Structure 1
Amino acid sequence: MSGSLFGDGFPGRGRATGDSWPMPHIMEAMEQLRGMFDQKVGGSTRMQRGDVRAAVLALLLERPMHGYQIIAEIGERSGGSWKPSPGSVYPTLQMLTDEGLLKAEESGGRKTYSLTDEGRFVAEADAEKPAPWENSSTRDSGRASGLAKAGIDLAQAAAQVGRTGSAEQVKEAVDVLEEARRKLYSILAQD
């Protein structure tokens, strides 16, 4: 990425430091960072239909919940890397109810789902298996999410220095960013 924060250094180095010369370059670098991470991390991890079923049974083994609680709980337990859509959770809840594994009680305009005796038997039989939100692809995506957040936070901090910092502060920030880039590449160079 020549001419960017990630390539041959910070663009515009050596220019006179009047006004806000680095600002367009900092914003460009920030957008590059955001774009790199949004490609994979911005969306949720696509899981298979059986994963939603297993997740619902595992969660309802702990306590009764309504659909939104199930979606939120899966998102939380996966570190934000998997948040099933209502279009996958609610049909699964209906299917499990039709199979006799769940029962629904309506209260306050919401259906709260709980396991039937047969549903508890099925859920307990699968309890020894890792929960779907614990599978390796979800964990890997969760790690990438942490990296993405840190990268975006760094880019936002750099942009703030570019907007409000003095020429000396901007130069110091550029040095810090270049050092961070070198350290990141050295991580990849390790075996």
Structure 2
Amino acid sequence: MSGHPHHHHRPPHRDHPLAWRLRSFGGPFGPGGPFGDPLGPPFPGRGPRRGRGARGRGRRGDVRAAILALLAEAESPMHGYEMISEIAERTGGFWKPSPGSVYPTLQLLTDEGLIANVGGEGGKRLFELTEEGKQAAENLGEPPWKQIADDVEPNEVALRQAVAALRGALFQITTVGTPEQQSKAVTMINKLRSELYNMLAEVDDDVSTEDE
């Protein structure tokens, strides 16, 4: 074993003072809220709440179908991370299969002769459909992401997309914004959080009035 100490490095934006302030907000935009860490990966949290999408979240059969459907539409070979990101994007973030489900499925499809590893730069494993795989993709019917989209409330999809866009803006403010811009951003976000909670309180008051 080496005598050198082990150092754990955070991504640069994690050490920025504004990053810590953003994560301290709590509520829906905090680490424990439905939208997770404002500067973390997009679309954390639960999957679809009902129907086929809730049943199929992360199942290998669905991962298999998603990979075949993606490669059937792809204009060039894809690697595993691209597939994970594309599935997440097509489902509005409601389904993001883990590497632990995608990569074994890629190997399984390769063993079955449905996809082929065509290599790539930097040692990346790029995959494309074989002739047998193209036939299998044609027999799939509706792709998994279409099924999930049909099972999710449109407003919830729109809200998550808006949050994702907000995260992009927050990341830019955190990394390249001036101190004045960052200070203004904190004020704006605190105001938005207050308005959201006030809106929720108004809904609770309406429900209480109806129950009386």
TM range (shorter): 0.5 to 0.7
Match of 1:182 in 2: 202
- Give me the whole-angstrom Cα distance separating, in 1, the residues matched to 2:131 and 2:199: 60
The percent identity for this pair of structures is 39
Q: For residues 80-103 of structure 1, what are the alpha-carbon distances to aligned partners after superposition, in whole Å with 9 as ceiling and x for unaligned?
A: 121111111111011000001011
Bigger mean CA deviation after superposition, 77-86 or 178-187? 178-187
| 1:160 lines up with 2:187 in the alignment | yes
- Give me the whole-angstrom Cα distance separating, in 2, the residues matched to 1:83 and 1:141: 18
The one-letter code matched in structure 2 to 1:140 is: V
Name which structure has the greater RCO, CA cutoff 8 Å, separation 6+: 1
Match of 1:95 in 2: 108
TM-score by length of 1: 0.59
- Give me the whole-angstrom Cα distance separating, in 2, the residues matched to 1:43 and 1:162: 21
Match of 1:85 among 80, 87, 98: 98
| Partner-residue secondary structure (3-state), 1:111 | coil
Match of 1:37 among 34, 43, 49: 34
| Partner-residue secondary structure (3-state), 1:79 | coil
| 1:107 lines up with 2:104 in the alignment | no
| 1:71 lines up with 2:90 in the alignment | no
CA RMSD of aligned residues (A): 4.2
Match of 1:56 in 2: 67
| Partner-residue secondary structure (3-state), 1:106 | coil
8 Å contact from structure 1 (residues 78, 142) kept in 2: no
TM-score by length of 2: 0.54
Unaligned runs of 5+ in 1: 1-26, 164-169
- Give me the whole-angstrom Cα distance separating, in 2, the residues matched to 1:162 and 1:125: 48
- Give me the whole-angstrom Cα distance separating, in 2, the residues matched to 1:185 and 1:139: 30
Bigger mean CA deviation after superposition, 144-153 or 56-65? 144-153
Match of 2:132 in 1: 118
- Equivalent residue pairs, number: 149
Unaligned runs of 5+ in 2: 1-21, 37-42, 48-56, 171-183
Match of 2:156 among 128, 144, 147: 144
Larger strand share, 1 or 2: 1
Decide which structure has the larger Cα Rg and report it.
1
Cα pair distance change 1:132/1:143, threshold 3 Å: farther
- Give me the whole-angstrom Cα distance separating, in 1, the residues matched to 2:26 and 2:105: 38
